[in-house]
Amino acid sequence: MMAGRSASAPAAEIDREEPVPARPLPAFQVGGVVVHHADEADIPAIVALNNLYAPDGLTLTRSEAFVTGHLQDYQVIRGANGRIRGQVALDEYAPSLAEIVSLAVAPDQQGQGLGQCLITAAEHLARERGHREIFAISLAEVLFLRMGYTLTSIEIYPEKIARYRSISRSELSIGRKFCFTKRL
Ligand SMILES: CC(C)(COP(=O)(O)OP(=O)(O)OC[C@H]1O[C@@H](n2cnc3c(N)ncnc32)[C@H](O)[C@@H]1OP(=O)(O)O)[C@@H](O)C(=O)NCCC(=O)NCCS
């Protein structure tokens, strides 16, 4: 009798169980700056900041649908009223390799070290995911060299060239000039 009751009780509890809300991922702190995993409320601000730099070829244009689909790859530094001070994303190429993409700091927030914090947070996430190498295509040469990256040729990443070719030739030529890599 007792055995029968204890066997059926857990099943009844499971039937009544409510869906468990997703727990927010832990934030990453660099010095005094907190870098959060992005959540859905951040999406419009992420898209706006990212696309601010797209006309100059510094970032690739992103839609809200794209960011929604890749939200787990985005990290943000939040300001007041839902504003995004800066953001960064990881783009996985292989289990061992990821690219830093969508690195952007709001114009009035630049020069305070937020770019460095975002790169550090992206590296942390890459390590957590098991990537052993990270690279970035950027014009910010001093910034990446200061962060321990070395200048290399995009030719060492044929997967990246293939993706650029499917987008535009002009982005391929930018990539040839400023490709930075780091072992994690
Ligand atoms: C690159 C960027 C993210 C740096 O953010 P930041 O918060 O100003 O960075 P930090 O304060 O940590 O570091 C500043 C350093 O970045 C370098 N830097 C920033 N923007 C640069 C640019 N457009 N060209 C060259 N170097 C740049 C400078 O060397 C600067 O060093 P300094 O302060 O000694 O002069 C920011 O300038 C930005 O959003 N730029 C537009 C988008 C972009 O280029 N993204 C990179 C794609 S990978």
pLDDT tens-digit profile of 51-87?
Answer: 999 998 889 999 999 999 999 999 999 998 879 999 9
Confidence of residue 3 (pLDDT cuts 50, 70, 90): very low
Give yes or no for residue 93 having a pLDDT over 50. Answer: yes
d(CA 58, CA 41): 24
- Considering only CA atoms, which residue is closest to atom 35 of ligand 1? 111
User: Is residue 1 one of the residues assigned to a domain?
Assistant: no
117 located within any domain:
yes
Mean pLDDT computed over every residue of the chain: 85
Does 145 score more than 80 pLDDT?
A: yes
| Contact yes or no for 71/43 (Cβ under 8 A) | yes
| 180 CA from centroid of ligand 1 (Å) | 14
pLDDT for the residue 23: 66
Q: How many helices (H) and strands (E) does the chain have?
A: 7, 8
pLDDT exceeds cutoff 70 at 48: yes
Range 136-155 average pLDDT: 91
| Residue 171 CB–ligand 1 contact under 6 Å | no
Residue 15 lies in a domain: no
Pairing mode, strands 97-105 and 133-137:
parallel
Considering the domain boundaries, does residue 49 fall inside one?
A: yes
The reply to whether 150 falls in a domain is yes
pLDDT of residue 89: 98
User: What pLDDT does 6 receive?
Assistant: 46
What percent of the chain is predicted at pLDDT more than 90?
60
Q: Can you give the pTM of this predicted structure?
A: 0.84
- 152, part of any domain: yes
147 lines ligand 1 (CB under 6 A): no
Residue 56 Cβ inside 6 Å of ligand 1? The answer reads no
Q: Considering only CA atoms, which residue is closest to atom 41 of ligand 1?
A: 104
Report yes or no on 41 lying in a domain: yes
Our count of domains for the chain comes to: 1
List of long-range contacts for 66-69, beta carbons under 8 Å, 24+ apart: 67/38, 67/43, 68/40, 68/43
Domain that holds residue 59: 25-183
Q: pLDDT at residue 1 above 70?
A: no
> 13 in a domain, yes or no?
no
CATH number of the domain bearing residue 158: 3.40.630.30
49 sits in which H/E element = helix 43-52
